[in-house]
Amino acid sequence: DAKTTQPNSMESNEEEPVHLPCNHSTISGTDYIHWYRQLPSQGPEYVIHGLTSNVNNRMASLAIAEDRKSSTLILHRATLRDAAVYYCILRDVWSTSGTYKYIFGTGTRLKVLA
Amino acid sequence: GAVVSQHPSWVICKSGTSVKIECRSLDFQATTMFWYRQFPKQSLMLMATSNEGSKATYEQGVEKDKFLINHASLTLSTLTVTSAHPEDSSFYICSASPTGERIQYFGAGTRLSVL
């Protein structure tokens, strides 16, 4: 199973960019890289995903290394509401129904300082 | 985006009783739903895959007789914690994905406290 490695915690100042790294050296050619975040006492919410090319959406940007062994989630201007645990997930094996299941790693706890 | 609803959001029960948690996909049909458990300060742990019309698939180490899963319709899966004990106290989260979408949508979670 492909695994991900993330720093346990990071800090950022409000209004500044944040770069959250993720290593996934055993990624397979067809694994998508997904990022989710979990605010306190809530279920995870989708942030962004990609395969090979860098991706942008209204929440964040995803930069994927050329060899795909690492990726970086970029929050362009951190706000206090971005304080959460960020999970980098490689879409794992098919479940019996044909739907992919997620295996969560430890994630990175982001603290945003006012 | 799609919405997944969980009920109740919080439940307290006595040791030895059973608790049922519902997971509903509000605006899409889901042939598969997933159940997770999360202890404080820890990551989500996948418990089982709920399959509409067939038996659930449990992850290694998860007791299927303890955590009963019923996926009775394309929009509803239930997790019943049977004969709950204090060590079952945890945050239970479900997720589902519309057919063809790569994104999983998660419920807000159910916090179970067993006294």
Instruction: Supply angle C-alpha B76, B77, B83, rounded to 5.
Output: 140
End-to-end CA distance of chain B: 37
pLDDT of B53 reads: 86
Contact criterion met (CB < 8 Å) for B109 and A107: no
Burial bucket for residue A67 (CB in 10 Å: 0-12, 13-18, 19+): exposed
Contact criterion met (CB < 8 Å) for A43 and B95: yes
pLDDT of B74 reads: 92
Out of B43, B105, B108, name the one closest to residue A105 (CB). B43
What is the Cα–Cα distance from A40 to A58, expressed in whole angstroms? Answer: 22
Tell me the residues of A at the B interface, defined by beta carbons under 8 Å apart.
Answer: 32, 34, 36, 38, 41-46, 49, 87, 91, 95-107
Cα→Cα distances A62→A49, B87, B98, Å = 7, 38, 23
Question: Who has greater pLDDT, B115 or B72?
Answer: B115
**Sign of the dihedral defined by the CA atoms of residues B62, B3, A108, A54, in that order:** positive
pLDDT of B98 reads: 85
Average pLDDT, chain B: 94
Q: Do the bridges between strand B32-38 and strand B90-96 make them parallel or antiparallel, or are there none, so unpaired?
A: antiparallel
Which residue bears the tokens 């945003």? A112
Report H helices in chain A.
Answer: none
B11 contacts: CB under 8 Å, gap ≥ 6: B19, B21, B110, B111, B112, B113
pLDDT category at A1 given cuts 50, 70, 90 is: low
pLDDT category at A94 given cuts 50, 70, 90 is: low
Q: Do the bridges between strand B90-96 and strand B105-106 make them parallel or antiparallel, or are there none, so unpaired?
A: antiparallel
Half-sphere exposure of A76 (CA within 13 A, CB side): 7
End-to-end CA distance of chain A: 39
A97: which chain B residues are within 8 Å (Cβ-Cβ)? Answer: 31-32, 49, 51
Contact criterion met (CB < 8 Å) for A96 and B93: no
Q: Which of A4, A30, A37, A46 to mutate to test the interface with B (most CBs of B within 10 A)?
A: A46
SS3 B88: helix
How many angstroms away from the CA of A111 is the closest CA of chain B?
Answer: 15
How many angstroms away from the CA of A15 is the closest CA of chain B?
Answer: 27
Question: Who has greater pLDDT, B108 or A104?
Answer: B108
B57: which chain A residues are within 8 Å (Cβ-Cβ)? Answer: 95-96
pLDDT category at A79 given cuts 50, 70, 90 is: very high
pLDDT of B37 reads: 97
SS3 A40: coil
Q: Do the bridges between strand A9-13 and strand A108-113 make them parallel or antiparallel, or are there none, so unpaired?
A: parallel
Cα–Cα nearest to B46, from B72, B24, B85, B79: B79
